[in-house]
Amino acid sequence: MSRLLIKNIKELIQVEEAPRTKVSGKDMAVLPTIKNAWLAIEDDLIVDYGGMDDFPEITDWVGLEIMDVEGQMVMPAFCDSHTHIVFAASREGEFVDRINGLTYEEIAKKGGGILNSAKKLADKSEDELYDSAWQRLQEIKSTGTGAVEIKSGYGLSVDAELKILRVIKRLKDDSDLTIKATFLGAHAIPTEFKENREGYIDLIINEMIPLIESENLADYIDVFCETNYYTPEETSLILEAGIKAGLTPKIHVNQFTSIGGIQVGIKNKALSVDHLEVMTEKDIDDLSKSKVMPTVLPSCSFFLNIPYAPARRLIDNGLPLCLATDFNPGSTPSGNIPFVLSLACINMKMTPEEAINATTINGAYAMDLSKTHGSIAVGKKANIVITKSISSLSYIPYAFGSNVIDKVILNGKL
C-alpha cells in the first residue's frame, strides 16, 4: 500500500463533509475550505483530512511519505466536461482569416471549420491521432485537469468516427486521467451528403450507433444543434437512437442562435447542455425546471470574439453552472482551465468561488463523476492539485496566464 500525508497546506479547498452531486444558485458562492490543513491519501483514495491543530500522531511509518507544502494550497483536480482533443491538425489559417474579417460561419460555409478538420483526419492513422491526443492530455494535466470528456466529431464517416472513438478508448485505458467518451457524429453535415442530409442521419442512426454500442465505445451522445448544422427535430431523432443504445445526451446548443436545442435536451434528459452564448428568457426558465447542467465555455467566446454566456443570469436564477474548455482546433485551441477561471471571473462576473465550484464538483456532475471526483472528501479519488505558494485562492483566476499549479496527483500518484 502507498500512503501519502500532505501537511502544512495553507488552504485545503473544496472540502466536502456531506456528499453533494452539484451546487446551484447562491450555493455556488460557497466554497468550503480549511486553512492550515493536512490531507491523507492511501493508494488512489483520499482517506482523511483536517486542521494542523489536530495533526494525526504517526505511530506506523510503513510505506508512509510525508510532503510538507508550507505556503501552498491543495484543491481537487479540475474536471473538464467538454473537449474535442482528438484531431488531426491545427487551423491557424482560419484564425488569420478571422483577423482579416471573415466570421466563423463564413469560414465554415467555404468548406473550412469542422469539414476542414474532417478532411485532415481522414488520412491519419489511429496511432498518429493517439500520439497527438496523448500530448494534449499531458498539456491539460500540467494545468491541473484530472478528468476529461472527449468527443468524436471530426470523422463524419463510419470509419473515421469509429477510429476516433477507438483512440479515445485507448486513451482511457492508458492515461491516468479519468476519461469519458462522447459520440458526436452529428457535428456537421459532410460534403458528400450536402444534398442528402437524411442519408447521413440514417448512417448515424443505423450504422454508427449500433457499432458503437456493440464495441462499447461511448458514454454519451452529442449533436451540434444549430442553424446550418442540425435542426431540433434532427437532434431529437439522433438523441433517441443514442438513448436506445445506452448513451446519455450531452449536447451543443445556443452557440449562435436559440432554435429550441435546450428544450430538446430537457425532453431527452440530457446530462448537460453546452455553449449557451445566446439565451432567451424562456430558455433560462425551462432550464431552471430541469436537472440538466448548463455548461458554458468562455475560452470559446474569447477566441471567436462572440458573446459570453449569461452566467450571472443563470446563477442568479438559482441554476447550477459548469465551466469547461471546449478544447478543439477551430473555436478553442486551449485546454487551460485556470485561463477559463480568469475569463469566467473577468468577463462573466463570476466570483472565484463560483468559478472553482463550476470546474470541480459541477464539472464532475457533467461527467457522472460526482461520487468519485470534484471535491476533497473521504473515499473520493485522490485527484488533487497542489498550487505554487500563493497569497489567496482568488490569486488563481487573478494571475491570468501564469501557471499557478505546482504539482498534480492523480489516483494518488504524483
By the criterion CB under 6 A, which residues form the site for ligand NIG? 113-114, 117, 224, 252, 255, 300, 326, 328-331
- DSSP 3-state of 7: strand
Evaluate whether 287 touches 294 at the Cβ level (below 8 Å). Answer: yes
* Helices marked H in 143-280: 158-174, 197-203, 209-215, 232-244, 261-267
Q: Which of residues 71-90 bind Fe ion (CB under 5 A)?
A: none
Q: How far is the CB of 332 from Fe ion (least distance, A)?
A: 8
Cα–Cα distance measured from residue 328 to residue 389, given in angstroms and rounded to the nearest whole number: 31
Q: How far is the CB of 179 from Fe ion (least distance, A)?
A: 16
* Helices marked H in 281-403: 281-288, 298-304, 311-316, 337-348, 352-359, 361-365, 395-398
Evaluate whether 207 touches 175 at the Cβ level (below 8 Å). Answer: no
Which CB atom, from 11 or from 149, has the smaller least distance to ligand NIG? 149
* Helices marked H in 143-208: 158-174, 197-203
Q: How far is the CB of 234 from ligand NIG (least distance, A)?
A: 15
Indicate the residue whose CB is closest to ligand NIG: 330
Cα–Cα distance measured from residue 154 to residue 364, given in angstroms and rounded to the nearest whole number: 25
Q: How far is the CB of 103 from ligand NIG (least distance, A)?
A: 12
Evaluate whether 150 touches 367 at the Cβ level (below 8 Å). Answer: no
Which CB atom, from 220 or from 224, has the smaller least distance to ligand NIG? 224
300 binds, among ligand NIG, Fe ion, none (CB under 5 to 8 A by kind): ligand NIG
Which CB atom, from 113 or from 190, has the smaller least distance to ligand NIG? 113
User: What's the grid cell of residue 308?
Assistant: 459570453
Which CB atom, from 105 or from 215, has the smaller least distance to ligand NIG? 105
Which CB atom, from 41 or from 218, has the smaller least distance to Fe ion? 218
Which CB atom, from 49 or from 224, has the smaller least distance to ligand NIG? 224
331 binds, among Fe ion, ligand NIG, none (CB under 5 to 8 A by kind): ligand NIG
49 binds, among Fe ion, ligand NIG, none (CB under 5 to 8 A by kind): none
What single-letter amino acid sits at 2? S
Q: Which residues lie closer than 8 Å to 141 by C-beta, 6 or more apart?
A: 176, 177, 408, 410
Q: How far is the CB of 387 from Fe ion (least distance, A)?
A: 28
Q: Looking only at Cα atoms, what is the longest distance across the chain?
A: 74
Which CB atom, from 5 or from 114, has the smaller least distance to ligand NIG? 114
Cα–Cα distance measured from residue 399 to residue 338, given in angstroms and rounded to the nearest whole number: 9
Site mask for Fe ion (CB under 5 A), range 286-325, x = bound:
----------------------------------------
Listed ranges 86-94, 326-334, 369-377, 382-390: which one lies at the site for Fe ion (CB under 5 A) = 326-334
Q: How far is the CB of 90 from ligand NIG (least distance, A)?
A: 11
Q: How far is the CB of 82 from Fe ion (least distance, A)?
A: 6
220: left (phi over 0), alpha (psi -120 to 50) or beta: beta
Q: Which residues lie closer than 8 Å to 347 by C-beta, 6 or more apart?
A: 298, 301, 302, 308
Q: How far is the CB of 184 from ligand NIG (least distance, A)?
A: 8
Which CB atom, from 331 or from 387, has the smaller least distance to ligand NIG? 331
Q: By CB under 5 A, is residue 326 in contact with Fe ion?
A: yes
Residues forming contacts to Fe ion in the complex (CB under 5 A) are 326
